[in-house]
Structure 1
Amino acid sequence: MIGVLTHHWAKADKIEEAKKLLDGNGLAQSKAPGFGSRETLYSIADPSKITTLVTWDSNEIYDAWRASPERTVAMAGAGELWAKPPESERFQVAG
């Protein structure tokens, strides 16, 4: 199992839109094969920073999600919401 930790920085005037978009993406992810769980974290120090931690059965399953038409639809228009590009890293889940 892998965990994907992604930091997003929304433009100051787009924070609520960014939260909605990421919530919709999470809903779409939850219906995908190999999805495990998802947590969304809002930074206390930086209100524009939205971090997600999503678990997947494998790297290959996550790659399939990233290439899916469902993800394309869920993330449509996302580029206009970010103050800088999201940063993502994959981790092996312990246990």
Structure 2
Amino acid sequence: VLESTDMLKNFLPIFSANLIDGLTANKQKLQENIENSPVIVTLLTPKIGYLKSAELFKESLKTGKTIRELVVSKELMSNKEIDSLFK
């Protein structure tokens, strides 16, 4: 057990220096992933209701449009209002 602990203790600084230090998030890709994820439906539900959110999700799957695009095009919410849901 002590030998394993020593190995781990020696490994962690190397792991950190070579794989973690300098690692940054791709904010644009993260935003894209969120917008194309069903999670946005959960955020919209209190504002536009469960049924409308479910409809939009199904339409998004059929059309390939993002839920944001559908919400804005149907004038249910503005881009600014949708942005505020993520804060």
TM-score above 0.5, yes or no: no
Greater C-alpha Rg = 2
Richer in strand (by share): 1
TM-score w.r.t. the length of structure 1 is 0.29
- Considering Cα pairs closer than 8 Å and 6+ residues apart, tell me whether 1 or 2 has the greater RCO: 1
TM-score w.r.t. the length of structure 2 is 0.30
Richer in helix (by share): 2
